[in-house]
Amino acid sequence: MNIIKVKNYDEMSKRAAFIVASQVSIKEDSVLGLATGSTPIGTYKQIINIYNDKLIDFKNITTYNLDEYYDLSEENEQSYRCFMNQNLFNHINIDKKNTFVPNGKAENPEKECKRYDSLVEKSGNIDLQILGIGSNAHIGFNEPDDKFAKGTHLVDLKQETIDANARFFKSKEEVPKKAISMGMKNIMAAKKVILLASGENKAQAIKSTIEGPINPSVPASILQLHPDVTFILDEDAASRLNK
Ligand code: F6R
């Protein structure tokens, strides 16, 4: 486990963007696993800057997003598909046909979960997975539970997740209560994982993830078993770590 401590959100974003840029330059047909939410927005901005400097090319890159709200169509502005288009895909030369997000409108979610898992597996698994973390230590929308979820699955979001995500919606009532999330199998099968965290509200989740026991009540703690995981933490997110 590699831990990089940086000063603030801006430095976290730059460090993460460099790692993504190196991955894309070393392997031009890389498969990237992507997250949404506030945390990676700065990283995506930095990636766009590096792209505009003509240092990286996304022509042959494939991406898989971790999750999508259930029952939101991809046209909905709050959907993670829209988020990805607005914050990254519209600004780089990626072929949108090679960008995958679970279909939140799938009539048969179970079938959609299986389809998504087999797509990821057919791509030869993810080369570099970017993760954020919830204040309850969820990754993707793998919420605290009494077991780790293996495959892509339909999740009932925890109240704390609904509350945290309400900031993106006009009212709390509008926040979807369910999501389709990649499970731990595909996350753990990624060749390299970077987890980004910024802010005091993530400090306890980071401490339990890194220093606590591996337990599904702290979903991110499973990353202790990953052979190549790097945590990029700003001062506030790292503030409760023992060293
Ligand atoms: C979103 C995702 C979530 C977020 C987490 C943190 O695709 O996978 O696990 O990373 O909820 O969200 P922010 O970054 O908004 O604090």
Provide the residue-wise pLDDT of the chain in tens; the chain has 243 residues: 999 999 999 999 999 999 999 999 999 999 999 999 999 999 999 999 999 999 999 999 999 999 999 999 999 999 999 999 999 999 999 999 999 999 999 999 999 999 999 999 999 999 999 999 999 999 999 999 999 999 999 999 999 999 999 999 998 899 999 999 999 999 999 999 999 999 999 999 999 999 999 999 999 999 999 999 999 999 999 999 997
The reply to whether 206 falls in a domain is no
Q: How far is the CA of 228 from the centre of ligand 1 (A)?
A: 21
Return d(Cα 35, Cα 171) in angstroms, integer: 23
Q: Is 136 a catalytic residue?
A: yes
* Ligand 1 binding pocket mutation candidate from 43, 130, 141 (most atoms within 8 A of CB): 141
Question: What is the residue whose two structure tokens read 């060293």?
Answer: 243
DSSP 188: H
Structural domain boundaries enclosing 49? 2-195+223-232
Indicate which CATH number applies to the domain containing 72.
3.40.50.1360
Which residue among the candidates 87, 117, 138, 236 is catalytic per the annotation? 138
The reply to whether 209 falls in a domain is no
Number of domains in the chain: 1
Q: Cβ(208)–Cβ(197) under 8 Å?
A: no
CA distances from 234 to 101, 151, 186, 202, 203 (A): 28, 31, 26, 10, 10
The reply to whether 217 falls in a domain is no
Residue type, 183: G
* Ligand 1 binding pocket mutation candidate from 138, 155, 201 (most atoms within 8 A of CB): 138
Q: Is 138 helix (H, G, I), strand (E, B) or coil?
A: coil
In 3D space, the residue among 171, 102, 166, 164 whose CA is nearest the CA of residue 134 turns out to be 164
Rounded to 10°, the helix 41-52/9-26 angle is 50
pTM over 0.95: yes
The reply to whether 81 falls in a domain is yes
Q: How far is the CA of 210 from the centre of ligand 1 (A)?
A: 18
The reply to whether 243 falls in a domain is no
* Atom 4 of ligand 1, residue of closest alpha carbon: 132
Q: Cβ(47)–Cβ(54) under 8 Å?
A: no
Residue 159: partners with Cβ closer than 8 Å, 6 or more residues away: none
Q: How far is the CA of 161 from the centre of ligand 1 (A)?
A: 9
The reply to whether 241 falls in a domain is no
Which pLDDT score, from 0 to 100, does residue 243 have?
78
Q: Is 8 a catalytic residue?
A: no
The reply to whether 216 falls in a domain is no
Residue 174 neighbours by CB distance under 10 Å: 10
Q: How far is the CA of 40 from the centre of ligand 1 (A)?
A: 8
Q: Is 174 a catalytic residue?
A: no
Question: What is the residue whose two structure tokens read 């753990």?
Answer: 188
Residue 140 Cα: closest atom of ligand 1 = 8
> What's the token pair of residue 116?
């998504």
Which pLDDT score, from 0 to 100, does residue 10 have?
98
Q: Cβ(106)–Cβ(112) under 8 Å?
A: yes
The reply to whether 127 falls in a domain is yes
Which residue among the candidates 87, 103, 136, 165 is catalytic per the annotation? 136
Q: Cβ(228)–Cβ(193) under 8 Å?
A: yes
> What's the token pair of residue 152?
């892509």
Return d(Cα 98, Cα 88) in angstroms, integer: 13
Pocket of ligand 1 (CB under 6 A): 35-39, 66-67, 132-134, 138-140
